[in-house]
Amino acid sequence: MQIDLKRLLETETKFFEKIPPIASSGRSVNKNIGVIVVAHILPDAVPYLRILNTIFSVDVVFAKQKSINQDVFNTLKGDYNLVLADREKISDISYLKEFLNEQRDGYIFIDIGGYFSNVVNELQSVLKEKFLGCIEDTENGLHRYSANGPITFPFYQVARSPLKQNEDFLVGQAITFSAETLFRENGIILNGQKVGVFGYGKVGSGVASALRARQANVTVCDIDPVKVTHAYSHGFTPQDKDTLLKNSDIICLATGTKSLLNDDFYKIKNDAILFSITSSDDSIDTNWLAENFSCKEVSPLVTQYKLGDSQFYLLNNGNAINFIHGTTVGHFILLVQAEIVACAIKLSLEGSSGNSHSIPNEICQEIAQYWLDLFTIK
């Protein structure tokens, strides 16, 4: 399918053009600020990167390798320095320094999944006053930054923004759609299946609800007792990890971290099917599995892991299955992207102290209202 660039840029560009005056309160923004972006290379990246490059100067786009639409990649590569995102390389300050332009007046780093979390302090040391800050999109990424100790640099997050809730809900729907599609392609329907969901966070709760709507018998496990009470109040049966692994025909890994440690794989019900909502390097140690189980590709998207008489199946090699079908959430993704743009403008004009910051609620409301004016049926 060819990407219709003109169609993508019309209404979306009109929407994004409203964001700078909302976030800047009419103040001018320095175009000579460099932006280094981690991004999904999907159709919505076209207008998003364009507005970032209009306001600032996008020096490099690190493309998340599990979410690249080749047509979009081909559309963008003539305008941007597109580099495949490699977490290990990006954690090396000498590698990142290759992309820094000494002529820039400052740098902002826009992240999805904590790629800069292990190198941010070194970036701050190298760039000094030119380091303007980081922005993180996801809950998983926010955990990565927080895991390194207190955040002492300019930092904004949109992971817990009210504008993000729409995306979280729709991603849950997209994950369930992709799971059901793969199951049906392999002669399996969700009706009556015992499905265990690890993680009842923003996305996991959406997946659990969508699975139940497809008549699956859903149970939930979470290490946070508060989230377990949420699941219970929503009508789901809580189970401990071992019970869920032993009883579930299908297992969804929705924690954003490694839900299952190595020995846990020995406890999985025979012939169970596993799928994840995030990248395999976050959710599953596939190298350990390959070393301890015999591994066979059943189809391009289904891998069998076998030990003795027991076996289970892993979808999409442990990577987020919604990207198989484009993970589209429609125009709702623009709300989150607009908030990221607003965060970048705030950092460029005002900076921030240490700790995690978010955009003021009144700006979120203005973004939401303008989105409603453009994209809802009157």
Q: Which amino acid is located at 259 in the chain? A: S
* DSSP category for residue 368: H
- Say how far apart CA 194 and CA 236 lie, in whole Å: 12
Q: Are residues 160 and 172 in the same domain?
A: no
The pLDDT tens digits of the residues spanning 262-292 come to 889 999 999 999 999 877 666 777 788 888 9
| Same domain flag for 159 and 179 | no
| Residue 182 vs residues 219, 220, 296: alpha-carbon distances, Å | 21, 22, 17
| Pair (351, 301) in one structural domain | no
Residues 368 and 242 in one domain: no
Domain end marker among 283, 309, 325:
325
pLDDT value at position 377?
Answer: 65
Inter-CA distances, 372 with 139, 185, 243, 276, Å: 25, 37, 45, 32
Same domain, 261 and 293: yes
- Mean pLDDT confidence for 340-360: 89
Element (H, E) at 225: helix 225-233
pLDDT at 231: 95
Domain shared by 320 and 348, yes or no: no
Q: What's the mean per-residue pLDDT of the chain?
A: 90
pLDDT(116) > 80:
yes
> What is residue 140's predicted lDDT score, i.e. its pLDDT?
86
Q: What is the CATH number of the domain that holds 91?
A: 3.40.50.1480
Co-location of 129 and 49 in the same domain: yes
Query: Is the domain of 186 the same as that of 227?
Result: yes
DSSP readout, 241-307? HHHHHHH-SEEEE-SSS--S-GGGGGGSPTTEEEEESS-HHHH--HHHHHHHSEEEEEETTEEEEEE
Q: Assess whether 252 and 157 both reside in one domain.
A: no
Instruction: Tell me the residue range of the domain where 149 lies.
Output: 5-164+329-375
293 plus 344 within the same structural domain: no
Worst-scoring range by mean pLDDT, 148-152, 197-201, 232-236, 361-365? 148-152
Which range is most confident: 6-10, 174-178, 324-328? 174-178
Ramachandran sector of residue 192 (left: φ over 0; alpha: ψ -120 to 50; beta: rest): left
pLDDT at 351: 76
> 232 and 119, same structural domain?
no
Is there a single domain that holds both residue 111 and residue 189? no
What pTM did the predictor assign?
Answer: 0.83
More confident residue, 39 or 284: 39
Burial of 26 (0-12, 13-18, 19+ CB in 10 A): exposed
In sequence order, which residues have a C-beta less than 8 Å from that of residue 98 and are 6 or more positions away? none
Number of structural domains, the chain? 2
Identify the residue with better confidence: 3 or 159.
Answer: 159
Would you say residue 328 has pLDDT above 80?
Answer: no
The arithmetic mean of pLDDT across residues 245-260, rounded, is 89
Is the model's pLDDT at 191 over the cut of 90?
yes
Retrieve residue 181's tokens: 């599609």
